Amino acid sequence: MLGVARRMLRRVDLAEDAVQESLVLIWRRAHQFDESRGSAKGWIYTILRNRCLTMLRREDREVPDAMDETPEQVVLDGAYDRLGDTTDLRRCLEGLDPETRRAILSSYVLGHSHGEIAGRMAAPLGSVKSRVRRGLLKLRECLS
């Protein structure tokens, strides 16, 4: 599966994400498989192919602008600095690693999609999604 995804996407990081997302979809949709319509192998590779095509289309739309990163970082730092020194949110954000904090702030302050954040951070999309999800879980736990 990884070989097929690599050939389609031409990037190892995206191929790994596509395979992971496909396996999750296969697991969730296993009850939808109908052997009278084709083989399991064909069904699995169709899901992978569709996931790869979706990622290629999404990547075309989510190519980050060639803008300077400095204004973005200034906005993120300003939003973070506006939090009072003693607020619980600031204390919990300080408990996160810098990359996770930046990804969460980019998403909620600047409204960037996961794809845009991945492009700006030069990180795989799946890693950014996981980082944001785990960071939000840590924030929820810290704030409760």
Express each pLDDT in 74-129 by its tens digit. Answer: 667 777 777 777 788 888 888 899 889 888 888 887 778 888 888 888 888 888 99
C-alpha distances (whole Å) from 141 to each of 2, 85, 99, 106, 116 are 36, 20, 19, 21, 27
| 119's tokens | 């492009």
**Number of Cβ within a 10 Å radius of residue 39:** 10
Determine the pLDDT at residue 71.
Answer: 66
| 118 and 57 in a common domain | no
- Confidence (pTM): 0.50
| 139 and 73 in a common domain | yes
Residue 63 clears pLDDT 60, i.e. is over it: no
Cβ atoms of residues 69 and 120 within 8 Å: yes
Domain coverage including residue 134: 69-143
| 87 and 54 in a common domain | no
| 125 and 78 in a common domain | yes
Residue 69 clears pLDDT 60, i.e. is over it: no
| 73 and 44 in a common domain | no
**Torsion-angle region of 122 (φ positive above 0: left; ψ -120 to 50: alpha; else: beta):** left
